[in-house]
Amino acid sequence: MFKKNHMILLLVCLMFVLSLSSFQLGFAQDEAPATASGAVIQKVDLAAHSAYKDTIIIGVANDITTLDPQASNTDANMMAFELTHETLVQIDPATNEIIPGLAESWEISEDGLTFTFTFPEGVMFTDGVTPFTANDVKYTYDRAKDSSFASAKVSDVVDITVIDDTHISITLSRANQEFLLLMAHKGMSILSEALCTANATEGPWVGTGLFAVNEWLPGDNISFVRNENYRGTVAPTKKIVFKLFKEASTRLIALQAGEIDVCIDPSTIDLDYIKNDASLNLIQTPNVVLLYLAVNNTKPGLDNVHVRKALAYASDKISMVEVGFDGMGTPHNNYINSGQFGLKKDIAVYEYDLEKAKAELELSGFKPGELTFHVMTDKEYKKNMALVLQADLSQIGINLVIDEMETAALKSVLNDAALNYELCIYQWTDADGTDFTVRNMYGSSIKDGVLKKNGSNRAVLTDAALNEMIDAALVEQDKATREQMYFDIEDYLNEIVPIVPFCTSYINIGTGKDVTGAVWRPTAKHDYRLICVPLD
Amino acid sequence: MYRYILKRLLMLIPVLLGVAFLIFAIMDVAAGDPVYSIAGPDATEEQLDALREEMGLKGTLLERYVRYIGNLVRGDLGTSYVTKLDVMDVYMQRLPNTLKLAILTMVVAVGMAIPLGVTAAVHQNSIRDTVSMVLALLGLSMPNFWLGLLLIMFFSLKLGWFPTGGNQGFRSIVLPAITVGAGLAALMTRTTRSSMLDVIRQDYLRTARAKGVSEKNVIQKHALKNALIPIITVFGVQFSNVLGGSVLAETVFAWPGVGRLVVDAIDQRDIPTVTGALVLTTMLVTLVNLLVDIIYAYVDPRIKAQYTK
Amino acid sequence: MTTYTQVQKQQRATKRYKKRSSFEEIWRQLRRNKGAILGMILVAVIVIIALISPLIYDYQKDIAGQNIKQRLQKPSAEHWFGTDELGRDIFARVLYGARYSLAVGVVAVLVALVIGVTLGASAGYIGGTFENIVMRVTDIFLAIPSVLMAIAVVSALGKSTLNLMLAVGLASTAPFVRVVRASVLVVKDEEYIEAARAIGMRPWKIILVHILPNCVSQIIVQATLRVASAIISAAQLSFLGLGVPAPAPEWGSMLSSGRQYIRDHSYMTLFPGLAIMVTVLSLNLFGDGLRDALDPKLKR
């Protein structure tokens, strides 16, 4: 079959393959300034334009998994809820102040325990026929108590009284200083009692927002159509589509080819393609998502504070940022999210130092080579960070095994009551309330007479002294004292090193040149309600 | 013939029951109780328990299996753990995309394989034969997701001829179809070549040639028709691989097909979706194979005679 | 009793005669096929690379060791294939990776072979209900697309090299069952088998001594070609993130981690991709040649 000189053909074919994959492209850029809160707000003067592009397609990396606001806490879903639903109050993206949402005003009693909200009249759900009343708020919050995702946010609520169709009063068990922040969380989006009881699956999809769900093809795309009956100004864009592209490179190519208007999270290595393309716009702002090494403090070896300090000293955060985000990030040494109230800027830092790490390991009583830990990772960048840690730990004599898992599998191991994990590279994304962060990440509560860790406490920390500090800070009404209390909590955590904070990265968004109107938040939960492309 | 078809359809039942059981068993071994990832970190024991009840996770593997089959018989594949949508509906949304891709893949494969295979056979041991066979071997040896990436780089990005992915009309199927089709085309080229070589030597072609029928006519009218039979078989055998192989292409090209539905569902531990989608896919593969066998019987009277016996 | 020894002697003689002549014939056929020879040489080279790479490279330092300052370097005199996202030399990793890809391919096929041959041979030999059950189960496995099957198995068992081998192996078992059963059915009723049965030989011995040698050539060809497809299957699983755990330099996972750098650093995906292609190509060339040599009916 083969003659001698025909072998050259094989080589020619190989050369063809080689040439296919090696070529370059040739290329300008501008940026909207970030606000004090870190959000990039693209203001659009809706009165100045008369026509907008009908459909905006947003290329996303993560699929929508549910349209029921109380059935999830992932970023991807939150962005859908913001389009379709409304919360009682919302957070001003520029100032982080609480501003009206579905409630036009509210009053707080002297003791800080009772909140009375007033709603506008004649609000309709997006189906156009179901009216909204204060009773729907009571229904929503009662329903939240049964939701494993939303129940923690209403745990302080002891009474909800519907005064009339447009007034409701909510009473708390303690003067929770962050109650309004919790109510602004998308998981507390207001649902319709009538629609939810009529259709348990699709009823919760309907809110009072600027958009309504049009068509949902899980794993492919979801489209939202404008709510023409919205009580305020209707959205400029008729239809918004979230289109799923799992591959970052493909997503960016789709943007460059004009197939989509927005590309979320392009690969950091590819950002120059956006910068150098005159038809595209790169939006960048520091991300507040806290990436950390979750350490199960109850596991043998890891229950030793010196071992945990050794892990902290052996964490080369700069290299991790380099390999995880191509240098686009900042090492993080605090135990709460950057930008949060109470962040201690001058916290003592465990600088990367293998000698100190070795010294700590010696103090722990464990010998080099004696300890082997498993670290769980789910995304490529986390795996790369784990590889950096693996190489450093091997130098001080700790063996690290990387278990790459799918996100769902990793979550089920983390959430499983058996707590069968040692280390995990994980993130904390809810960056609004400091109490919410410290309570969830490090707090515990008494159940059946024993301290049980709170759900997101990945360190499995059950520390009564810490709980008291957290509880005291929550109800402290003097701002400066409260801030100092959080500084103290952070110092306390820094001594016991329950986790090792790693870094924060950047929000990177590529858009078409004319795309405007969106709010790009440092929490990666972007607000697309007013996104548009003006045509005049 | 009808009895044969009926018999084959009846044989489908135990296969489907087996597929469902196999998937059930595999997913049962999978690490982690699915309720934990679905309920989130703050779920209480009571909430988890209620969720297990709602998701039908209570009971032994066998009990759950029997319950599942009971529902399956009524055409109820259950609802997804994650999206709470009806599995049948979701599958039916994806199926047309997969079929479109499969059909175009076959068209691409046949379109490449027959000319190459026939050329190779007719000009046996010539340079054309070698070129065809080297191309076929390369097609067979290239990981198809890699080929997909290379195609995107060249045809989407550099030349801008085709979209990079998604489901926007005919142009977006071309690259995925080539990606999946390359390996299949390679197999078919080899089959075409060898079956053509078989046929070319047959006596009746010698007779045709002797009667003065031109060589081109001999090949087109007589040889190719007979050589098609093994190609149809390859089609049948490879159909399941086309569905499977398209998983990678679906990932690279963001093509919303059945394969990716299964892979995503496996990632999310969405057992009803995995089981339902695989049961339906198996049914589809088996039915296509049956269809191929029937066509086969019509094309080749010798086989038909066997069935009617 | 005389018949017994006679039968045995005769068989041995036939076998010896057959063996020698067929081996020479196969070699003669193989030598004439340039593609097969090229394939064979390449396979040999790859196997040698796999065997000696630990002698050339220190795993901790050269393969897993990182150099973040040198990350993402284009191919140069110092780094022939460039460096990856952690500054590791891709040339060294590609060479070392041969160990993983070959091991996964070979072990997976061995798994398939052992299960497939055992089940296929016993199904064909025993027949009846047992055969029916085995063949229906085989149908089930064949009906599920093998990639999806392997993905399900790996995600169920957890990600590890061994599980990858098992998954790929399980997913490629069914064809072996079919091939072996078919060849057993052909010889099952031959006189010498009946004779062996008559003298009270145990069934497994009959299968091992008298039946399997008949389909050895088919099994070898199948196995060679299956190693090629197992390597591709393993790469596919790695590409989906279900492969050999990091930091092992398995080609599929190298491709997978290189794909986010594909636009500016395409060499990261190019070289592991080429390595897979060359390996699979050589195995296919060799396997094809072997098939033609073993089955002269197919050779033209």
Give the whole-angstrom CA distance, residue A235 versus residue A226: 6
The residue assigned the tokens 């044969």 is B4
pLDDT tens-digit series, residues A300-354: 999 999 999 999 999 999 999 999 999 999 999 999 998 889 999 999 999 999 9
Question: Average pLDDT of chain B?
Answer: 81
A1 has pLDDT over 50? no
Q: Where are the alpha helices (DSSP H) in chain B?
A: 2-29, 34-39, 45-54, 61-73, 87-122, 127-141, 144-151, 171-200, 203-210, 215-217, 224-252, 258-267, 271-299, 301-308
Element (H, E) at A208: none
User: Which pLDDT score is estimated for A30?
Assistant: 40
Inter-residue contact A118 to A103 (CB < 8 Å): yes
pLDDT tens-digit series, residues A192-204: 999 999 999 899 9
User: In 3D, which of A440, A439, A441 has the Cα closest to residue A475?
Assistant: A439
User: In 3D, which of C111, C54, C29 has the Cα closest to residue C288?
Assistant: C29
User: Which pLDDT score is estimated for B120?
Assistant: 86
Q: Give me the residue from B140, B157, B259 closest to C148, CB to CB.
A: B259
Reading the block at residue C183, the tokens are 């060849």
**Phi, psi for A404 (deg, rounded to 5):** -80, 130
User: In 3D, which of C215, C127, C171, B254 has the Cα closest to residue A244?
Assistant: B254
Reading the block at residue A323, the tokens are 């390999």
Show the domains of chain B with their CATH numbers. 95-307 (1.10.3720.10)
**Phi, psi for A386 (deg, rounded to 5):** -60, -35
pLDDT tens-digit series, residues A430-486: 777 899 899 999 999 988 888 999 888 999 999 999 999 999 998 888 999 999 999
pLDDT tens-digit series, residues B82-134: 888 999 999 999 899 888 888 888 888 888 888 888 888 888 778 888 888 88
User: Which pLDDT score is estimated for C22?
Assistant: 65
User: Which pLDDT score is estimated for A11?
Assistant: 56
* pLDDT > 70 in chain A, percent: 93
- Residue B153 C-alpha, separation from nearest chain A C-alpha, in angstroms: 7
User: In 3D, which of A210, A216, A180, A228 has the Cα closest to residue A82?
Assistant: A210
Q: What is the mean pLDDT of residues B130-153?
A: 84
Residue A188 vs residue B282, higher pLDDT: A188
* pLDDT > 90 in chain A, percent: 69
Q: What is the mean pLDDT of residues A368-393?
A: 93
Angle formed by the axes of helices C2-32 and C267-294, to 10°? Answer: 130
Q: Is B31 helix (H, G, I), strand (E, B) or coil?
A: coil
Element (H, E) at A444: strand A444-447
B positions 204-243 inside 8 Å of A (CB):
none
Q: Per-residue pLDDT for chain C (300 aa), expressed as one digit of tens each? A: 445 555 555 555 455 445 555 677 777 777 877 888 999 999 999 999 999 999 989 888 888 888 888 888 889 988 889 998 888 999 999 999 999 999 999 999 999 999 999 999 889 888 889 998 898 888 888 878 888 888 888 888 888 889 999 999 988 898 889 888 888 888 877 888 888 888 888 888 888 888 888 778 778 888 888 899 899 988 888 888 888 887 889 898 888 888 888 788 888 888 999 999 999 999 988 888 888 787 655 443
Give the whole-angstrom CA distance, residue A386 versus residue B299: 59
Q: State which CATH number among 3.40.50.1110, 3.40.1130.10, 3.10.105.10, 3.30.450.20 fits the domain covering A288-504.
A: 3.10.105.10
Give me the CATH topology for the region A30-83+211-286+508-536.
Answer: D-Maltodextrin-Binding Protein; domain 2 (3.40.190)
C-alpha distance across the termini of chain A, in Å:
66
Q: What is the DSSP string of B132-166?
A: HHHHHHHHHHS-HHHHHHHHIIIIIIIS--S-SSS
Reading the block at residue B237, the tokens are 């055998």
A159 has pLDDT over 80? yes
Alpha-carbon distances, residue B5 vs B73, B234, B291, B308 (angstroms): 21, 20, 9, 11
Q: What is the DSSP string of A185-197?
A: SGGG----HHHHH
Give, as one character, the DSSP assignment of residue C298. T
User: Which pLDDT score is estimated for B188?
Assistant: 85
Between the CA atoms of C98, C101, C103 and C107, what dihedral angle is there, to the nearest 10 degrees? -160
Residue of B nearest to C144 (CA): B282
Which of these ranges, A81-85, B256-260, C44-48, has the smallest mean pLDDT?
Answer: B256-260
User: Which pLDDT score is estimated for C216?
Assistant: 80
A positions 30-59 inside 8 Å of B (CB):
none
Q: Is A66 helix (H, G, I), strand (E, B) or coil?
A: coil
* Three-class DSSP labels, C119-131: HHHHHHHHCHHHH
A9 has pLDDT over 60? no
User: Which pLDDT score is estimated for C1?
Assistant: 44
Residue of C nearest to A269 (CA): C261
Give the whole-angstrom CA distance, residue A34 versus residue A75: 21
pLDDT tens-digit series, residues A123-158: 999 999 999 999 999 999 999 998 888 888 898 999
Q: What is the largest CA-CA distance in chain B?
A: 86
Q: What is the mean pLDDT of residues B298-308?
A: 60
User: Which pLDDT score is estimated for C172?
Assistant: 87
Give the whole-angstrom CA distance, residue C243 versus residue C159: 7
The residue assigned the tokens 């982080």 is A96
Q: Count the alpha carbons within 13 Å of A174 in the hemisphere toward its beta carbon.
A: 12
Q: Is B178 helix (H, G, I), strand (E, B) or coil?
A: helix
Question: A33 pLDDT band (50/70/90 cuts)?
Answer: low
Interchain contact A456–B (C-beta under 8 A): yes
Give the whole-angstrom CA distance, residue C142 versus residue A418: 38
A144's CB contacts (< 8 A; 6+ apart) are A70, A150, A151, A153, A154, A187, A188
Most confidently predicted of B75-84, B149-158, B221-230:
B75-84
Residue of C nearest to B281 (CA): C144
Inter-residue contact A473 to A490 (CB < 8 Å): no
Reading the block at residue A178, the tokens are 């962050």
Give the whole-angstrom CA distance, residue B289 versus residue A87: 54
Residue B301 vs residue A62, higher pLDDT: A62
User: Which pLDDT score is estimated for B125?
Assistant: 79
Q: Give me the residue from A218, A253, A409 closest to B152, CB to CB.
A: A253
Q: Please state the domain extents for chain A.
A: 30-83+211-286+508-536, 86-205, 288-504
User: Which pLDDT score is estimated for A22?
Assistant: 42
Please answer yes or no on whether C245 and A1 come within 8 Å at the CB atom. Answer: no
* CATH number, domain A86-205: 3.90.76.10
Give the whole-angstrom CA distance, residue A178 versus residue A436: 8
Interchain contact A146–B (C-beta under 8 A): yes
Q: Is C154 helix (H, G, I), strand (E, B) or coil?
A: helix
**CA-based R_g, chain C, Å:** 23
Question: A27 pLDDT band (50/70/90 cuts)?
Answer: very low
pLDDT tens-digit series, residues B181-238: 888 888 888 888 888 887 777 766 677 777 777 777 777 766 777 767 777 777 777 7
Provide the strand spans (E) within A218-314: 221-226, 239-244, 262-264, 280-286, 290-295
User: Which pLDDT score is estimated for C8?
Assistant: 57
pTM above 0.90, yes or no: no
Render the burial of B187-224: b for 16+ CB within 10 Å, e for the rest: bbbbbbbbbbbbbbeeeebeebeeeeeeeeebbeebbb
Give the whole-angstrom CA distance, residue C236 versus residue C259: 13
Question: Secondary structure of chain A: what % helix, strand, coil (to 5)?
Answer: 30, 25, 45
List CB contacts (< 8 A) between A407 and chain B: 267
Q: How many helices (H) and strands (E) does chain C have?
A: 12, 0
Give the whole-angstrom CA distance, residue A517 versus residue A32: 11
User: In 3D, which of A258, A257, A264 has the Cα closest to residue A243?
Assistant: A264
Angle formed by the axes of helices B87-122 and B224-252, to 10°? Answer: 130
User: Which pLDDT score is estimated for A28?
Assistant: 31
A441's CB contacts (< 8 A; 6+ apart) are A335, A428, A456, A457, A458, A459, A499
Inter-residue contact C169 to C109 (CB < 8 Å): yes
Q: Give me the residue from A3, A388, A406 closest to C66, CB to CB.
A: A388
C-alpha distance across the termini of chain C, in Å:
47
Question: A177 pLDDT band (50/70/90 cuts)?
Answer: confident
User: Which pLDDT score is estimated for A459?
Assistant: 95
User: Which pLDDT score is estimated for A5?
Assistant: 53
Render the burial of C84-100: b for 16+ CB within 10 Å, e for the rest: bbbbbbbbbbbbbbbbb
Q: Give me the residue from B152, B156, B260 closest to A219, CB to CB.
A: B260
Give the whole-angstrom CA distance, residue B31 versus residue C234: 21
A positions 301-330 inside 8 Å of C (CB):
319, 322-323
Residue A12 vs residue B195, higher pLDDT: B195
- Residue A3 C-alpha, separation from nearest chain C C-alpha, in angstroms: 7
User: Which pLDDT score is estimated for A21?
Assistant: 44
User: Which pLDDT score is estimated for A25?
Assistant: 32
Question: A7 pLDDT band (50/70/90 cuts)?
Answer: low
Give the whole-angstrom CA distance, residue A409 versus residue A376: 10
Question: A3 pLDDT band (50/70/90 cuts)?
Answer: very low
Q: Is C7 helix (H, G, I), strand (E, B) or coil?
A: helix
Architecture of domain C24-298: Orthogonal Bundle (1.10)
Q: Give me the residue from B40, B47, B83 closest to A73, CB to CB.
A: B40
Give, as one character, the DSSP assignment of residue A89. E
User: In 3D, which of A189, A193, A194 has the Cα closest to residue A207?
Assistant: A189
Hey, of A276, A387, A393, A400, which one would you mutate to test binding to chain C, going by the most C CBs within 10 A of its CB? Answer: A387
Inter-residue contact A118 to A105 (CB < 8 Å): yes
Question: Average pLDDT of chain A?
Answer: 89
Give the whole-angstrom CA distance, residue A448 versus residue B302: 78
Question: A31 pLDDT band (50/70/90 cuts)?
Answer: very low
Question: A258 pLDDT band (50/70/90 cuts)?
Answer: confident
Give the whole-angstrom CA distance, residue C141 versus residue C212: 23
